[in-house]
């Protein structure tokens, strides 16, 4: 299972939990990251690599706040302390300043989870 069959506005906690229930595997169009760190240069490079890898293929979904185990979705935890506007701005600035040609068509959606944590989703 992936999120490719859903329109961007239809992605919500239930569809993300479906990835866990189905044991969705990471692939060319789906990747999971338990957290988002953009402090060190290495963390920034790794995040850019994840985003541009999807952008340079057929596109796809990078689900932030999803733990994976052996390449499969295992737990939807969200991002604690995630201040949506600040983090979205940091991601957009990092992409604008570091990627040439510019990555087009990227969208960011933030989903508030029942546990109160936010989940950032990049497409």
Q: What is the pLDDT of residue 14?
A: 94
User: How many C-beta neighbours within 10 Å does residue 85 have?
Assistant: 8
Is residue 61 within 8 Å of residue 30, measured between CB atoms? yes
Q: What is the pLDDT of residue 62?
A: 87
Q: What is the pLDDT of residue 26?
A: 92
Residue 95: DSSP 8-state:
H
The pTM (predicted TM-score) of the whole model is 0.84
Q: What angle do CA 62, 17, 37 make, to 5 degrees?
A: 35
The domain limits of the chain are: 8-122
Residues 8-122: name the CATH superfamily: Schlafen, AAA domain (3.30.950.30)
Q: Which residues of the chain have pLDDT under 50?
A: none
């Amino acid at each position: 299972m992936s999120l490719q069959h859903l329109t961007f506005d239809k992605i919500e906690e239930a569809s993300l939990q479906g990835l866990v229930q189905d044991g969705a595997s990471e692939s060319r169009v789906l990747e999971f990251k338990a957290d988002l760190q953009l402090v060190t240069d290495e963390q920034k490079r790794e995040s850019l690599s994840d985003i541009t890898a999807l952008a340079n293929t057929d596109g796809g979904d990078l689900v932030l706040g999803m733990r994976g185990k052996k390449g499969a979705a295992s737990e939807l935890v969200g991002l604690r302390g995630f201040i949506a506007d600040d983090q979205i701005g940091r991601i957009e600035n990092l992409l604008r300043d570091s990627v040439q040609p510019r990555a087009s068509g990227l969208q960011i959606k933030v989903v508030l989870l029942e546990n109160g944590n936010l989940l950032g989703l990049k497409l």
